[in-house]
């Protein structure tokens, strides 16, 4: 199997897509043929027969994916948990179809970045969660969290859910961290979380000027990601591939 990583979060809207795109841009800069995947997306737009996920479209720009149907195989209009959106739209989350798409993408890329939806315990269908999908894909994970008040509880709960399911946690990335006028929580939480969980802190990202997901604009995301995130600890065996 080709190597890859699953980007999950402590909650929705914590920045999984930004982290996934930043990693894709950084790996492309190293000469790695990187693919991206957003297996399940809700809150999509467009005609019913051609729903579009904004997150998946942004990731495809970052990774230069050539297979949109495989990159974003399950799309729903309602901005709800996937199992609920599927029920309202009289559809079903097709897990075997997702795994087939994942295996097909692996044939075309050296490294695959898979972005989840919400956190580990978001239900995709009855008795099947994002955590189950990660296990079926056989991928290690990176956890994305905010760094402010509440981050300790949310992050430790996510780490605990991963550990009891025997997942490999490569590390934690904090997103939208203030670079000036930061709070005491932002200053102290990363160390507290590392001390309590033992999980490596891979770095933090500030708000990126010039980044506009709707317009497919990355601003300085690639440069900031390379400066502030320990990419080699995410990619493992790909760390030795030289930059172009």
pTM, full prediction:
0.95
pLDDT given for residue 214 in this prediction: 86
What average pLDDT does the chain have? 94
- Does the domain made of 4-240 have the CATH classification 3.40.50.300? yes
Q: Catalytic annotation on 38? A: yes
- Whether the pLDDT of residue 1 is over 80: the answer is no
E-assigned strands of the chain?
4-9, 34-37, 40-41, 74-75, 111-115, 123-125, 128-129, 141-145, 169-174, 201-204, 211-212, 217-218
- Whether the pLDDT of residue 60 is over 70: the answer is yes
pLDDT given for residue 87 in this prediction: 97
pLDDT given for residue 27 in this prediction: 97
Residue owning tokens 């919400």 = 118
- Whether the pLDDT of residue 242 is over 90: the answer is no
pLDDT in tens, 64-73: 889 999 999 9
| pLDDT classification of 166: cutoffs 50, 70, 90 | very high
Which of 38, 91, 107, 222 is catalytic? The answer is 38
pLDDT given for residue 49 in this prediction: 82
Distance, CA of 65 to CA of 7 (rounded, Å)? 17
Average pLDDT over residues 90-115: 97
- Whether the pLDDT of residue 241 is over 80: the answer is no
- Whether the pLDDT of residue 129 is over 50: the answer is yes
| pLDDT classification of 240: cutoffs 50, 70, 90 | very low
Task: Delimit the domains of the chain by residue range.
Answer: 4-240
- Whether the pLDDT of residue 101 is over 90: the answer is yes
């Amino acid at each position: 199997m080709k190597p890859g990583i699953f980007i999950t979060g402590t909650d929705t809207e914590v920045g999984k897509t930004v982290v996934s795109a930043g990693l894709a841009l950084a790996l492309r800069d190293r000469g790695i043929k990187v693919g991206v995947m957003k297996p399940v997306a809700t809150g999509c737009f467009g005609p019913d027969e051609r729903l579009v996920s904004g997150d998946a479209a942004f990731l495809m720009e970052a990774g230069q994916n050539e297979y949109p149907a495989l990159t974003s195989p399950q799309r729903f209009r309602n901005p709800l948990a996937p199992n609920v959106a599927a029920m309202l739209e009289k559809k079903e989350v097709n897990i075997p179809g997702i795994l087939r798409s994942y295996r097909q993408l692996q044939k075309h890329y050296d490294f695959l970045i898979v972005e989840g939806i919400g956190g580990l315990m978001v239900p995709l269908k009855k008795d099947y969660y994002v955590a189950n999908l990660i296990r079926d894909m056989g991928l290690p994970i990176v956890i994305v969290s905010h760094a402010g008040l509440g981050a300790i509880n949310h992050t430790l709960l996510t780490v605990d859910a991963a550990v009891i399911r025997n997942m490999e946690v490569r590390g934690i990335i904090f997103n939208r961290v203030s670079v000036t006028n930061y709070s005491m929580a932002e200053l102290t939480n990363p160390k507290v979380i590392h001390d309590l969980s033992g999980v490596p802190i891979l770095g933090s990202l500030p708000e990126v000027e010039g980044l506009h997901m709707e317009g497919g604009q990355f601003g300085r995301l690639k440069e900031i990601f390379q400066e502030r995130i320990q990419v080699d600890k995410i990619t493992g065996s790909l760390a030795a591939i030289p930059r172009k």
